[in-house]
A and B are shown apart, each in its own frame.
Chain A
Amino acid sequence: MAVRNLSTQRSLKEMVKTFGLPRIIIVIFLITLWGISMSLEIPFGQLLSDTLVRWGMNGVLVLAMMPSIMAGTGLYFGLPVGIICGLIGGLLAIELNLTGFAAFFGAILFSLPLSAIAGWGYGWMMNRLKGSEMTVATYIGFSFVSLMCIFWAMAPFKSPEMAWPIGRGLRVTISLAGRYEKILNNFLSFSVFGVMIPTGLLLFFLGMCLLVRFFFTTKTGLALKASGENPRFSSSSGVSVDKMRIVGNIFSTILGSIGILVYSQSFGFLQLYTAPLFMGFLAAASILIGGASIKKASITHVLLGTFLFQGLLVVALPVANKVATLGSLAEISRIIVSNGVILYALAQKSGE
């Protein structure tokens, strides 16, 4: 009897280990909050629609973590770099007076070369910082954001939608209304049982996931994966590990720039200046919640992690508002959960 008890205990421990403590806590927390929200008669359909929207809009940003992790450069804390490239693309699309899908895809097209170059430079730097990638990347991201603040404040954009009416420089937030606001969200969207399905958004997100998945079955993708998993194995097969790390970072940067455009069209605004500063941490937290580590990640981790994290944030707000009118609780729980999850991952032995 006692023996069996011991073995079930051990297998439980094993299960906790494989599933990851933070993930378990978050799943329990999410289910509890859902329970509370139902008992508070908060419309569940609304919650689910919001969750789906935020799943799709954040998903590509989270996906951007994956190539970098797979290539062995750790969590992609340089995400602000990619985000800024995307924002520039978005601005160019407005400046050229594009609207609709042309504007959205135009924005992506403009941002592509920028993010490819930025990602190359970023990856080049990462190769010179082996062993301290994440710390330095964080500060490279930060300083790039502040440098771009200077750029935004002096940028020569003319369109009245973007520039301050007096003086020069760009507004802090730029509305996309009439341009490509919710262009993906509304595409083929329908509603079932009171749940709005943002079909276009989800299709786009899943499409990007499939693209990444495909990439990892190609020759380059496999070489990249092998370089991250075991650099010495790769170089003994004549694969240049440094090159693969650069490819991974270019890919991450491109996904980051597409990610912010997806995010912005759903949000309805382009957010400039210091807004991109902490987005890297939120995306990192999402993929970690999904079960990734700083060395391993998969599409499932992206899908699951984003869903759990966004679901939690969506449900936290109305519940907090009903329990007590504490608007900031949602923001605080976001800070605690996201950073707590990253801390947990960093403290694991298997790390970098």
Chain B
Amino acid sequence: MQKSEYVLHMDGIGKEYHGNRVLSDVTISLKPGEIHGIVGENGAGKSTLMNILFGMSVIHSTGGHEGTISVDGEKVSIRSPLDAMTLGIGMVHQEFMLIPGFSITENIKLNRELTKENPISKVFGKEMRTLDLQHMGADARKALDTLDMDIDQWAKIAGLPVGHMQFIEIAREIDKTNLKVLVFDEPTAVLTESEAVNLLQAMRAIAKRGIAILFITHRLQEIMDICTSITILRDGKLVAQKRQEETSIYELAELMIGTQVGELMRHPNENLAAKPVLLSIRNLKVAMSGEEVKDVNLDIHEGEIIGIGGLAGQGKLGIANGIMGLYPSEGEVTYQGKPFALNDTIHALQTGMAFVSEDRRSVGLLLDSSIELNIAFTAMQRQHKFLKKIGPVMQMDKKAVRTLALNMIQDLDIRCTGPMQQTRRLSGGNQQKVCIARALCLEPKLLFVSEPTRGIDVGAKKLVLQTLVRLSEELGLTVIMTSSELAELRSVCDRIAIVTEGKIAGILSSKDSQVEFGLLMAGAKHGST
């Protein structure tokens, strides 16, 4: 067989999870020494693609994938990460796969330790061989030298700066003698600017040695800096494949976001400035791991629906969680003209805030309890509603709770068998409505809604959004809606703040162009706040 010019060829890759299509017909080819960028929003299918390439068990336990993968022109079947490793495909992980208690050498040689014979191993087999630390150290040294890392190979990982850790991960991969393809999954997300520059340099050096690189990132500037070719994914589909010289950062942003605009459900209020400021956020920091907020400044006017958008992991979810006191936060917040105490959930609830969490199943619901208890719980605990007094004891007022639940079920059109049904048995959309109902019975002035349509089917999505619009109109609610879906923010919000890297990158109106949004989200442009 003739050797292919491509070191890796993924052809017509597709994947369905339980009838839910997440990836269809994606073809990517890589030549040796090529740096190929993959860009896309959250849920565009990047991680599914990588899971397929590395034979992760999530893929195979859900029925495998479509399409074929060839390495050096030969069709291969990758059923486990180990298979991928043997084929010469390596990955530098976003979260470090390093063991802090081990030395750099031990980490570089993790499960690929060099060993030597001893009398006991001759009887009991390979597993009893002793580690050949001397040669392991020498190999590690060599890999580190390739990356110009001037650091003792016997130093422990614990205590090293983050930038070093990234390089040790890379050293591990290039120490593998058969390495052909190296995947970088958002490698610069945790690095400082100068560290990121170093990393990009190292990537170029690695590519020069004939190793092909797949570079996944949302930082379009970095893609433009080092990639030779670029694949853009959106909603599980391959939108375009471009060569670096024939495209621009603007085009990439537009391709990434798409041009489709959701149906406008309400007209943005143009006259916001006239309304008083309800909530004013200054220098907010929230320590929510994975969604850290670094420095957010934002004013929210009475009666508006403001959207908070941005890519996953940039910190947009941290804002609501921080103000509600669910994660440690600091900063100056003024609410209704008075200073607002952070880190105090009770205070937030009692001053008329309510929160519908992005994590419906693990924060938003008592899955094994009834709908009515779910709806009434917070109001009962915080506002002493739906209770009756028996001596010194406050007991749940079953009748009141039942009436409330029946009303809510009717008002919000919750499809269920009755108020006693367990919320676990409801569909995603109806679960979300239960969460909203729970927030509403607090009679809030300010409602935080995070990812209201996540994991809900299309029809229900619209219903949930309509409910929010109706509530804001009928009750004059101020709504802060956080969502990864730009289209849905644009269909209901007055204005949209885009969060990148823990800060507000800019505030746009729903009428602004897709490219504007795309550039803000990709961190390529900083708008004025």
Q: Consider the complex of A and B and state whether they touch directly, i.e. have CB atoms less than 8 Å apart.
A: yes
Q: Which residues of B contact A219 (CB under 8 A)?
A: 380-381, 384, 387, 394-396
Say whether B382 contacts A237, CB under 8 Å.
yes
Partner of A233, one of B348, B366, B387: B366
Say whether B394 contacts A218, CB under 8 Å.
yes
- Is B155 engaged at the interface, CB distance under 8 Å to the other chain? no
- Is A232 engaged at the interface, CB distance under 8 Å to the other chain? yes
Considering only CB atoms and an 8 Å cut-off, how many residues of chain A contact the other chain? 19
Closest to B363 in A: A232
Per DSSP, are chain A's interface residues mostly helix, strand or loop, or mixed? helix
Q: Which residues of A contact B491 (CB under 8 A)?
A: none
- Is A296 engaged at the interface, CB distance under 8 Å to the other chain? yes
Say whether B365 contacts A238, CB under 8 Å.
no
Q: Which residues of B contact A102 (CB under 8 A)?
A: none
Say whether B368 contacts A226, CB under 8 Å.
no
Say whether A236 contacts B377, CB under 8 Å.
no
Contact with B along A108-152 (1 / 0, CB 8 A): 000000000000000000000000000000000000000000000
Contact with B along A226-256 (1 / 0, CB 8 A): 1001101101111100000000000000000
- Is B373 engaged at the interface, CB distance under 8 Å to the other chain? yes
- Is B326 engaged at the interface, CB distance under 8 Å to the other chain? yes
B457 to chain A, nearest CB (A): 24
- Is A335 engaged at the interface, CB distance under 8 Å to the other chain? no
Say whether A218 contacts B393, CB under 8 Å.
yes
Q: Among residues 316 to 369 in chain B, which have CB atoms less than 8 Å away from a CB atom of chain A?
A: 324, 326, 345-346, 348-349, 355, 357, 359, 362-369
Taken together as a complex, chains A and B put the C-alpha atoms of A237 and B324 apart, in Å, by: 10
- Is A343 engaged at the interface, CB distance under 8 Å to the other chain? no
- Is B378 engaged at the interface, CB distance under 8 Å to the other chain? yes
Contact with A along B373-406 (1 / 0, CB 8 A): 1000110111010010000011110100000000
Partner of B357, one of A214, A220, A226, A236: A236
A230 and B377 in contact, given A236-B355, A237-B382, A238-B382 (Cβ under 8 angstroms): no
Say whether B396 contacts A217, CB under 8 Å.
yes
Say whether B363 contacts A237, CB under 8 Å.
no
Contact with B along A187-229 (1 / 0, CB 8 A): 0000000000000000000000000001001111011011001
Considering only CB atoms and an 8 Å cut-off, how many residues of chain B contact the other chain? 30
Closest to B398 in A: A217
Taken together as a complex, chains A and B put the C-alpha atoms of A69 and B394 apart, in Å, by: 22
Closest to B369 in A: A229
Q: Which residues of A contact B378 (CB under 8 A)?
A: 237-238
Say whether A232 contacts B381, CB under 8 Å.
no
Closest to B364 in A: A233
Say whether A237 contacts B381, CB under 8 Å.
yes
Q: Which residues of A contact B381 (CB under 8 A)?
A: 219, 222-223, 237-239
Q: Which residues of A contact B394 (CB under 8 A)?
A: 218-220
Q: Which residues of B contact A237 (CB under 8 A)?
A: 345, 349, 377-378, 381-382
Say whether B368 contacts A236, CB under 8 Å.
no
Taken together as a complex, chains A and B put the C-alpha atoms of A238 and B345 apart, in Å, by: 5
Partner of A238, one of B346, B368, B395, B398: B346
Closest to B326 in A: A236
Closest to B362 in A: A232
- Most chain B Cβ neighbours within 10 Å, of A223, A229, A237: A237
Q: Which residues of B contact A236 (CB under 8 A)?
A: 324, 326, 345, 355, 357, 363-364
Q: Which residues of A contact B363 (CB under 8 A)?
A: 230, 232-233, 236
Say whether B396 contacts A230, CB under 8 Å.
no
Taken together as a complex, chains A and B put the C-alpha atoms of A214 and B348 apart, in Å, by: 30
Partner of A230, one of B324, B365, B384: B365
Closest to A230 in B: B366
Taken together as a complex, chains A and B put the C-alpha atoms of A34 and B86 apart, in Å, by: 62
A231 to chain B, nearest CB (A): 10
Q: Which residues of A contact B369 (CB under 8 A)?
A: 225-226, 229
Taken together as a complex, chains A and B put the C-alpha atoms of A225 and B364 apart, in Å, by: 15
Q: Which residues of B contact A222 (CB under 8 A)?
A: 373, 377, 380-381, 396
- Most chain B Cβ neighbours within 10 Å, of A222, A225, A236, A296: A236
B319 to chain A, nearest CB (A): 15
Q: Among residues 8 to 59 in chain A, which have CB atoms less than 8 Å away from a CB atom of chain B?
A: none
Q: Which residues of A contact B349 (CB under 8 A)?
A: 237-238
Say whether A233 contacts B345, CB under 8 Å.
no
Taken together as a complex, chains A and B put the C-alpha atoms of A11 and B105 apart, in Å, by: 53
- Most chain B Cβ neighbours within 10 Å, of A217, A219, A232, A239: A219
Q: Which residues of A contact B393 (CB under 8 A)?
A: 218
Taken together as a complex, chains A and B put the C-alpha atoms of A80 and B484 apart, in Å, by: 52
Say whether B367 contacts A230, CB under 8 Å.
yes
Say whether A235 contacts B366, CB under 8 Å.
no
B480 to chain A, nearest CB (A): 16
Q: Which residues of B contact A225 (CB under 8 A)?
A: 369
Q: Which residues of A contact B359 (CB under 8 A)?
A: 232
Taken together as a complex, chains A and B put the C-alpha atoms of A314 and B326 apart, in Å, by: 52
A218 and B396 in contact, given A230-B367, A232-B363, A237-B378 (Cβ under 8 angstroms): yes
Taken together as a complex, chains A and B put the C-alpha atoms of A235 and B387 apart, in Å, by: 20
A229 and B395 in contact, given A236-B324, A236-B355, A238-B378 (Cβ under 8 angstroms): no
A19 to chain B, nearest CB (A): 18
Q: Among residues 384 to 441 in chain B, which have CB atoms less than 8 Å away from a CB atom of chain A?
A: 384, 387, 393-396, 398
Q: Which residues of A contact B384 (CB under 8 A)?
A: 219
Q: Among residues 313 to 339 in chain A, which have CB atoms less than 8 Å away from a CB atom of chain B?
A: none
- Between A and B, 20 residue pairs with Cβ closer than 8 Å are A218-B393, A219-B384, A219-B394, A219-B395, A222-B377, A226-B366, A226-B377, A229-B368, A229-B369, A230-B362, A232-B326, A232-B363, A233-B364, A233-B366, A236-B355, A237-B345, A237-B349, A237-B378, A238-B345, A238-B346
Can you list the 10 inter-chain pairs with the closest CB atoms, starting with the nearest?
A238-B346, A237-B378, A219-B394, A238-B345, A232-B363, A218-B395, A238-B349, A229-B366, A217-B396, A238-B382
> Which residues in B have some Cβ–Cβ distance to A below 8 Å?
324, 326, 345-346, 348-349, 355, 357, 359, 362-369, 373, 377-378, 380-382, 384, 387, 393-396, 398
> Which residues in A have some Cβ–Cβ distance to B below 8 Å?
214, 217-220, 222-223, 225-226, 229-230, 232-233, 235-239, 296
- Beyond contacts A223-B381, A236-B364: 11 other A-B pairs, Cβ-Cβ < 8 A, are A217-B398, A219-B394, A220-B394, A222-B377, A229-B368, A232-B326, A236-B324, A236-B355, A237-B345, A238-B346, A239-B381
